[in-house]
Amino acid sequence: MNSPCELADVVRLFGNELSENEKLKPLQIKVMNKILQCRTAVLGGHKEVCDCCGSVRYRYNSCGDRHCPKCQAAKQAFGLTI
C-alpha cells in the first residue's frame, strides 16, 4: 500500500519547475522551503520519554509556519485557535 501523498511531496516534485516558470514572491518561496524542511532532520529533533514505561521516541521538530499543513493539523488536534 502506498503512503498518502503530502504537500511536501508535491513541492519536492514540482517546486523547481514552478519557481522557474512563475514569478513567485519571496514569501511564497520561503513557505515552500519551510514545508520541505518541516519534520525533517534539517530542523533538528528531540527525544520523548514516557513517564510510565520509559519508552523512548525521537521526533523531528516542525517548522511552525501557519501555511504548513502538518503544523496546522497539529494545532487543530490540540484545539488551538488558528
Full-model pTM: 0.74
Kindly report, residue by residue over 9-55, the tens digit of the pLDDT: 999 999 989 888 888 999 999 999 999 999 999 999 999 999 999 99
State the average pLDDT over residues 56-80.
84
d(CA 13, CA 21): 14
Domain boundaries, the chain: 7-77
Q: Residue type for 2, please? A: N
d(CA 44, CA 78): 22
Residue burial 28-63, b: 16+ Cβ < 10 Å; e: rest? eeebbebbbbbbeeeeeeeeeeeeeeeeeeeeeebb
Radius of gyration of the chain (CA): 16
